[in-house]
């Protein structure tokens, strides 16, 4: 099946370490299992999940220091196509520890290196050059310190000279900057907690999330808006109306990577020319499949396609 190019952007990657201990308690030395090591960061995870599902993408990643070299080696081992940006400092690490006694997972996320204006300008130029072939650009994950909250809008303006379209999956200050901007991104994704924060009210029903997303589209924030509702699936509002895709009922081992797997499934189907309802369904299937795997393992292809066959998509 033909597929448009997909370029994933990871400005603040991390070397993800995941382990487990009998119990997580303060003040004690906690004896942990041998860690599982994965390259992490929103765009990297999206690219890895696209590859798992049989698609292709290029990962543009900012890497620095020994940790950056380790991530580059892991990405090469995974067979992921990589365009490397030089980060202004050592790439960060993150740690996820599962407490076996309670089943809870504790996630420790460190900051990345400080960026300055010249680094931002270099990144913008590199992204624009890499996106000249058109297709889709995915900006996913946190911004490093020093990268302005309005980076997505800056990138939208820069990409106007190409045929590339931009999907943004972000949160916090960067999400608020998009919501306040008059420069619409092509697709904006957020989770329900973030949507409720923007809305200033609870969004208990699917119809509430859909109405909120449709309002952002009307306000010119994005051409389409996706709100992830956790175990209740995801909704999208855009030119093709409002749709809801149910999340599959699966045993939840870890929710790490579920959002990135959703973006991978949704964008892969979109890049292959599938209608929006089927793209939403593949995203929901990939997210559910990711919940079935431990730590940073992402989704398994056989689970994604099995759950996609059982999809339930409704127009709202």
Active-site residues, by number, are: 260
Q: Which residues pair with residue 245 across a beta bridge?
A: 234, 313
Give me 270's structure tokens: 């979109």
Q: Evaluate whether 49 touches 290 at the Cβ level (below 8 Å).
A: yes
């Amino acid at each position: 099946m033909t597929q448009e190019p997909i370029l994933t952007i990871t400005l603040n990657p991390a070397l993800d370490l995941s382990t487990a201990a009998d119990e997580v308690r303060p003040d004690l030395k906690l004896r942990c299992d041998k860690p599982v090591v994965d390259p992490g960061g929103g765009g990297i995870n999206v690219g890895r999940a696209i590859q798992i599902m049989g698609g292709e993408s290029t990962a543009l990643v900012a890497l620095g220091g020994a940790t950056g070299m380790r991530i580059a080696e892991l990405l090469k081992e995974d067979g992921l196509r990589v365009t490397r940006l030089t980060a202004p400092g050592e790439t960060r690490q993150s740690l996820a520890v599962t407490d076996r006694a309670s089943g809870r997972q504790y996630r420790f996320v460190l900051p990345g290196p400080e960026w300055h204006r010249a680094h931002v300008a270099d990144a913008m130029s590199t992204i624009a050059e890499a996106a000249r072939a058109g297709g889709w650009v995915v900006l996913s994950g946190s911004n490093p310190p020093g990268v302005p909250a309005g980076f997505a809008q800056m990138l939208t303006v820069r990409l106007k000279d190409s045929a590339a379209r931009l999907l943004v999956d972000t949160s916090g200050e960067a999400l608020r900057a998009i919501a306040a901007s008059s420069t619409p991104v092509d697709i904006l994704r957020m989770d329900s907690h973030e949507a409720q924060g923007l809305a200033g009210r609870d969004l208990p029903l699917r119809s509430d999330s859909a109405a909120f997303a449709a309002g952002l589209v009307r306000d010119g924030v994005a051409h389409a808006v996706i709100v992830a509702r956790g175990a209740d699936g995801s909704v999208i509002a855009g030119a093709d109306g409002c749709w809801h895709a149910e999340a599959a009922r699966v045993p939840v081992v870890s929710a790490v990577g579920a959002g990135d797997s959703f973006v991978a499934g949704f964008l892969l189907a979109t890049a292959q020319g599938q209608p929006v309802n089927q793209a939403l369904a593949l995203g929901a299937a990939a997210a559910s499949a990711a919940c079935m795997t431990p730590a940073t393992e992402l989704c398994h292809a056989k689970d994604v396609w099995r759950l996609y066959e059982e999809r339930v998509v409704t127009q709202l």
